[in-house]
Amino acid sequence: MIPAPNAFQSGVSVRSVSKSFGQTRVLSEVSLEVGPREFLTLLGPSGCGKSTLLRIIAGLDHADEGSIALGNQAVDGLLPRERDVAMVFQSYALYPYMTVAENIGLPLLMRRTRSWQRLPLIRRLHPVARAAAGTITRDVRRAAEALQIEAFLDRKPGQLSGGQRQRVALARAMVRNPRVFLMDEPLSNLDAKLRVAARAEIAELHRRSGVACIYVTHDQVEAMTMSDRVALMMGGEVLQVAPPAEIYDRPAELRVAEFIGSPKINILPSTVRSDGGVDVPGGVLAIRSGLPANTAVSVGVRPEHCDVADGGIRGTVRHRENLGSDLFVHVETVGEHRIIARAAPEIIDSVPPGATVSLRPRPDRALLFDRAGRRL
């Protein structure tokens, strides 16, 4: 976080990494390129292999196949400590018997002193060891100030709140200017309000550090708000790597479209008509698909691209969710397909449960997927 102008900066390359635990294939052929100053989020449901990938990058676990490079250096044979990466764990993993200052200072102590200089008496008396201790105290204080935890330096982690512990974990990672930050769901143990504040703060700290960051989360809001790019993982594969807006507007496949966006995108099983439009349950969409007639496709329409307006798909209101800023209307069309449409909260009285309404998806925003789930 203390930007050193000559600090060695590098990105991360993950090249066709595969990993199995016993019979279970956890990662298959994962490849990723992370730029030198980029904030890349690994987004995916829990159990999809995000933490495993992070551990492999850090050297804490070994890939069965594939290789990892930091900058231009292949690091496959290197121990975790030789890779110069810093990691923030979901559980924070603070050393419970050390004070906050000792927790933050430990990575510096291990790097700036030799083992004999850490022996009890020498630590106090040897000039080199004492000089190192001085620089460590100074850097620990600076890191603590950046994260506003300097008041807790003498406490043990057990005496801190969740938010404070999370800051200590961040300080410990940032204090030593690593080549790359790895963060494994660092906000998932915080309450909702703290999480929003911490999101902005981590993004800000990352910008100042100027170091690549791989941030793991299963929370799409974190991914959308913090990242330069998002890598969407599922079942041990990377499905798409793209900036947040692109992954939202132009998902590469159906699974991506369904994972991103809340409420979930509406998927309508449809058929291409001979006039170029598409038959959807309960109506017709004027899309120029360019596909041959009778091709089976899935049409994806996000709730905000589906207006409650006359002359569209007819259906019955089943449920309403008023968030104050938005109103989500759940509508059932023929064949018991549910479509969620976003509307202005003011119209809530005109769409009571049981009422018949008409929905008009915007054809220009509709997404078409083939039967294999690829976007057309």
Partner 1 sequence: MIATRHLPFAVFRHVVLAAGAVVMLAPFIWLLSLAVKPADEIFTTDLRLLPLKWDAERNFTEAFNKVPLHRYLLNGVIVTAAIFTMQVLVALPAAYALAKLRFGLAKPLFALVLLGLLIPGHVPAIPHYIMLSHAGLLNSYPALVLPSIISVFGIFWIRQFFRTVPDDLIHAARLDGLSEFSIVWRIMLPAAMPALVAFGILSVVFHWNDYFWPLLVVTSPDMAMPALGTVYLRNTEAGTDYGPLMAGTAIITAPLVIAFLFAQRRFIEGMTLTGLKG
Q: Which of 49, 59, 105, 300 binds ligand ADP (CB under 6 A)?
A: 49
* 83: its two tokens: 């890779």
CA 179, CA 176: separation in Å to the nearest integer? 9
The one of partner 1, Mg ion, ligand ADP, none whose footprint includes residue 48, by CB under 5 to 8 A per kind, is ligand ADP
CA atoms within 13 A on the CB side of 89: 9
Give yes or no for residue 79 binding partner 1 (CB under 8 A).
yes
Amino acid 185 reads E
Which one of the spans 42-50, 79-87, 145-153, 249-257 is the region binding ligand ADP (CB under 6 A)?
Answer: 42-50
The DSSP element (H or E) to which 234 belongs, if any, is: strand 229-234
Amino acid 175 reads V
CA atoms within 13 A on the CB side of 131: 5
Q: Which of 51, 220, 240, 270 binds Mg ion (CB under 5 A)?
A: 51
Task: Kindly identify the residues of this chain, within the stretch 99-118, that bind partner 1 according to CB under 8 A.
Answer: 106-107, 110-111, 115
Q: Are 341 and 348 in contact (CB under 8 A)?
A: no
Which one of the spans 21-29, 91-99, 242-250, 343-351 is the region binding partner 1 (CB under 8 A)?
Answer: 91-99
Binding mask 13-52 for partner 1 (x = CB under 8 A): ----------------------------------------
| Residue 286 Cα distances to 283, 350, 359, 363, angstroms | 10, 26, 14, 6
Give yes or no for residue 81 binding partner 1 (CB under 8 A).
yes
Cβ closest to partner 1, residue 142 vs residue 314 = 142
Q: Which of 34, 50, 57, 289 binds ligand ADP (CB under 6 A)?
A: 50
Q: Are 65 and 17 in contact (CB under 8 A)?
A: yes
CA 169, CA 345: separation in Å to the nearest integer? 42
Give yes or no for residue 60 binding partner 1 (CB under 8 A).
yes
By CB atoms closer than 10 A (0-12, 13-18, 19+), residue 233 is buried
The one of ligand ADP, partner 1, Mg ion, none whose footprint includes residue 60, by CB under 5 to 8 A per kind, is partner 1
CA 185, CA 218: separation in Å to the nearest integer? 8
* Residues forming the site for partner 1 (CB under 8 A): 55, 58-60, 79-81, 85-87, 89-91, 93-97, 106-107, 110-111, 115, 157-158, 172
* Residues forming the site for ligand ADP (CB under 6 A): 21, 26, 44, 46-52
* Residues forming the site for Mg ion (CB under 5 A): 51
